[in-house]
Amino acid sequence: MRNLVARYPILFAVVAILVYDLGMNALAAVLRGMGLPQLGVSLIAQAACCVFVAALLGYLGWWRGAGFTHRVTGRAVLAYSPWLLLPLLMVVGSSASTLNASRVAAFILFTLMVGFAEEGLLRGVVLRALLPRGAVRAAVVSSLLFGIAHLSNMAQGRDPAATIVQAIYATFIGIGFAGPRLYTGTIWPAIVLHAMIDFADFASRNFAPQTEAATPTPGQAILVIAITGAYALYGWWLLRRHRRAWGARQDPPGAALF
């Protein structure tokens, strides 16, 4: 597999994402066929995704190179801090009328697993695999793949218009996270912030399943894309600073080679 990564990093990235996505959907379909509730299905399927990503990181020996550093510096906190505004904006004006403590706890666990699995795969494994081609290109390609992967939500019954909007802003979020990830060398804040964003999204919809989410109005879609686009520009700016500070051919702080 390491030869595949070195010679065909984009192919490896696509295969890794497909295995992740198709495997999760297949497992979820089996669990639903067993009559499990949707939240239980989501928790089990996402736990399996976490195991897959952890196994991939371990096999490649990329825990450190993917940003799983032992400590988070003040520089990293500062670089990621603008992201704290997004989950706050998402819950402003929302009202969760029926809050069940066990359900909220389940969603906290679920979103943390999503944060680890998606960031570990996209801003960890995939970004690390593409880095030899250049930091900016790696960030853009991994983010495009991240956005395209969200189109599979239509197979689960999600509204096509909402899914397309989600794919666009997921791409922007990917670039926005790739910037501080490479600039600081750590992925931990991205995992936590990703979980916070997803949790805020669920909370804004009263913890309804994604398939029950309302289709965004054109105004809402434009607003979401504009906000996440601003974060993408911020990530791009950090990527440019990363290139000037470390050189286009060097790995980010904390990265490890094969």
- 208 domain residue, yes or no: yes
pLDDT digits (tens, 9 = 90+) for 71-92: 899 999 999 999 999 998 887 7
- 254 domain residue, yes or no: no
Structural domain that includes position 194: 2-246
The number of domains in the chain is 1
Token pair recorded at residue 193: 């912030």
Measure Cα distances from 67 to 15, 91, 120, 172 in Å: 21, 29, 9, 20
Q: What is the pLDDT along the chain (258 residues), one digit of tens a residue?
A: 778 888 999 999 999 999 999 999 999 999 999 999 999 999 999 999 999 999 999 999 999 999 998 789 999 999 999 999 999 888 775 655 566 788 889 999 999 999 999 999 999 999 999 999 889 999 999 999 999 988 887 777 777 888 899 899 999 999 999 999 999 999 999 999 999 999 998 887 777 665 555 677 888 889 999 999 999 999 999 998 876 654 444 444 434 332
- 8 domain residue, yes or no: yes
- 258 domain residue, yes or no: no
- 253 domain residue, yes or no: no
pTM of the model: 0.88
Among residues 16, 52, 248, 246, the alpha carbon closest in space to that of 129 is found at 16
- 256 domain residue, yes or no: no
